[in-house]
Amino acid sequence: MKISFFPSLIFVLLFSSASISQNNVQDSLMLKKIYTAALTEGKSYEWLDYLSNEIGGRLSGSIEAENAVKYTEAQLNELGLDKVWLQPVMVPKWTRGFKEYAYIETAKGEKTITEICALGGSVPTPNLGIKAEVVEVKGLEELALLGKEKVAGKIVFYNRPMRADLIQTFEAYGGCVDQRYSGAAEAAKYGALGVIVRSMTLSRDDYPHTGAMSYGDLPISQRIPAAAISTNGAEYLSSLLKLQPNLLFYFKQNCKTFDDVQSYNVIGEITGSTKPNEYMVVGGHLDSWDLGDGAHDDGAGCVQSMEVLRLFKKVGYKPKHTIRVVLFMNEENGLRGGNKYAEEAKRKGETHRFALESDAGGFTPRGFTIDADTANFNKVQSWNSLFKPYLIHYFEKGYGGADIGPLKGNIDVLAGLRPDSQRYFDYHHAANDTFDAVNKRELELGAATMASLVYLFDKYGTE
């Protein structure tokens, strides 16, 4: 049995190549410090425990979202940042109400209860619910082909599954989510009474997955209720429809939309030593859906972003630029926080150089997607070898993130942390997105990976 007390990583980094630059050595050592601090004295997991287990699901406009604002503001204040404040933003308030109820009724009157949940923003069903025949489609195109004749008076059941053969699960999600987002608006045009959407997950289980939907410009009077059905439920319903095309589906949901309410982005910053008026942002979204406790989506991104600033203090790194953590409110059903932050940045004429978002779960980090010009992208590529000891290999052009998106056009680089995506949609927007599904080390590695990229962009600047 081999005993290796002090592996020689640092020595390898220092002496492996005679041509290694002084900067490179400094950077290697700084990354080592950052990762070590994150893994041995990290605070992200403790914060996430509180956000998840003491506060819980943080739907915009809820008391939990308000508590999360207060808690994270207080925690940022404890870090001894140069400035911590709340940025007011009005947010939508939609509530689920009593738990939804649904069943499948066969011709013989046999009823099978099935798990559903209202989609975020849906109108309720009438008080007595909706019972109707079901028309199953694989997507909006198939719906359009069926037309009014076959759709009117029915419940439309969108059942196109996520593609299991795609390696990046976000790509599979992107290929299905139109059913959830626009399914009700489209079905209403053909006179449907309601829609049931297969949950956006690659897992076969009993959890319905909620998520944002939109009626577009459909008049209020024409809006129909929309719910997600678990993948097990969808498979069952689909198989039963093959046997009994005239079966009935009943569902009742009690959701409600209120007037907008006051909420906040939570912001903290370390003032830059030489470029205090140039900003670099790291963030996630503080709101979540209400079914679970939003540990992966996006409690993880919030605590990782907070940890970036804490790690800089911990390892004694004084950034040149002003480094801001922004915990955005209302990503899930409105993006009001992200829009407000960008709007205020523009209004104040703040110069933003770089923004990094973590909103893909607290899983083992694999790398980043970079939304920037070639010069900046090449710059990131040039840092690849620094990340290799931490098994960070993925540096691709791509989307930064929803909340930092509105900064585009007024910023040099947008970046998104890319954790391993295999398990993400098992939990996404469902009741099992809970703290116990987050691994401490995976979360901490993500925070360290983020801090490392911010460090490098701060030190070398954007192009």
Active site residues: 331
Query: Comparing C-alpha atoms, which of 183, 125, 118 is closest to residue 156?
Result: 183
Q: Which residues contact 419 (CB under 8 A, 6 or more apart)?
A: 360, 361, 362, 363, 364, 365, 366, 442, 446
For a copy of itself, give the closer residue by CB, 128 or 164: 164
Per-residue interface string for the shown chain with a copy of itself, residues 191-230, x marking contact by CB under 8 A: -----------xx---------------------------
Q: For a copy of itself, which stretch binds (CB under 8 A), given 13-21, 121-129, 172-180, 297-305?
A: 172-180
Contact between residue 196 and residue 156 where contact means Cβ atoms under 8 Å apart: yes
Please say which residue, 42 or 337, places its beta carbon nearer to a copy of itself.
42
- Stretch binding a copy of itself (CB under 8 A), from 56-64, 102-110, 185-193, 390-398: 390-398
φ, ψ at 437 (rounded to 5°): -85, 0
CB of residue 419 to a copy of itself, shortest distance in Å: 10
Binds a copy of itself (CB under 8 A): choice among 296, 314, 352, 366: 366
Residues 411-430 binding a copy of itself (CB under 8 A) are 420, 422-423, 426
* DSSP classification of residue 50: I
Preceding peptide of 293 cis, ω within 30°: no
Residue type, 27: D
Pick from 177, 237, 267, 370: which binds a copy of itself (CB under 8 A)?
177
Q: Where are the alpha helices (DSSP H) in 19-158?
A: 22-41, 44-49, 63-78, 140-151
Per CB under 8 A, 442 contacts a copy of itself: yes
DSSP states along 162-204: PPTT-SSHHHHHHTTHHHHHHHHHHHHHTT-SEEEEE-S-SS-
Give the interface size with a copy of itself as a residue count (CB under 8 A).
Answer: 41
105: exposed, middle or buried (Cβ count in 10 Å: 0-12, 13-18, 19+): middle
294 or 365: whose CB is closer to a copy of itself?
365
User: What's the rounded Cα separation, in Å, for the pair 66 and 58?
Assistant: 8
**Which residues contact residue 116 at a Cβ distance below 8 angstroms, ignoring those fewer than 6 apart?**
100, 101, 102, 196, 208, 227, 228, 229, 230, 233, 251, 253
Helix (H) or strand (E) holding 137: strand 130-137
SS3 368: strand
Output 79 or 177, the one with its CB closest to a copy of itself. 177
Site string for a copy of itself, 109-148 (x = CB under 8 A): ----------------------------------------
Q: At residue 257, what is the residue type?
A: T
| Least distance from a copy of itself to the Cβ atom of residue 356, Å | 20
Q: Please identify which residue in 19, 21, 22, 40 interacts with a copy of itself, judged by CB under 8 A.
A: 40
Sign of the torsion angle spanned by Cα atoms 203, 420, 434, 181: negative
CA distance 403 to 393: 25
Q: Is 232 in the site for a copy of itself (CB under 8 A)?
A: no
Question: Closest CB to a copy of itself among 157 and 363?
Answer: 363
Nearer to a copy of itself, 165 or 217 (CB): 165
CB of 391 to a copy of itself, least distance (A): 6
Query: Helix count (H) and strand count (E) of the chain?
Result: 14, 16
Check binding of 58 to a copy of itself (CB under 8 A).
no
With CB under 8 A as the contact rule, the residue among 99, 126, 391, 410 that binds a copy of itself is 391
Q: Does 7 bind a copy of itself (CB under 8 A)?
A: yes
The whole-angstrom separation of Cα 303 and Cα 322 is 19
Residue among 36, 67, 238, 257 that touches a copy of itself (CB under 8 A): 36
Residues near a copy of itself (CB under 8 A) are 1-5, 7, 35-36, 39-40, 164-169, 171, 174-175, 177-178, 181-182, 202-203, 364, 366, 389-391, 393-394, 420, 422-423, 426, 439-442, 445
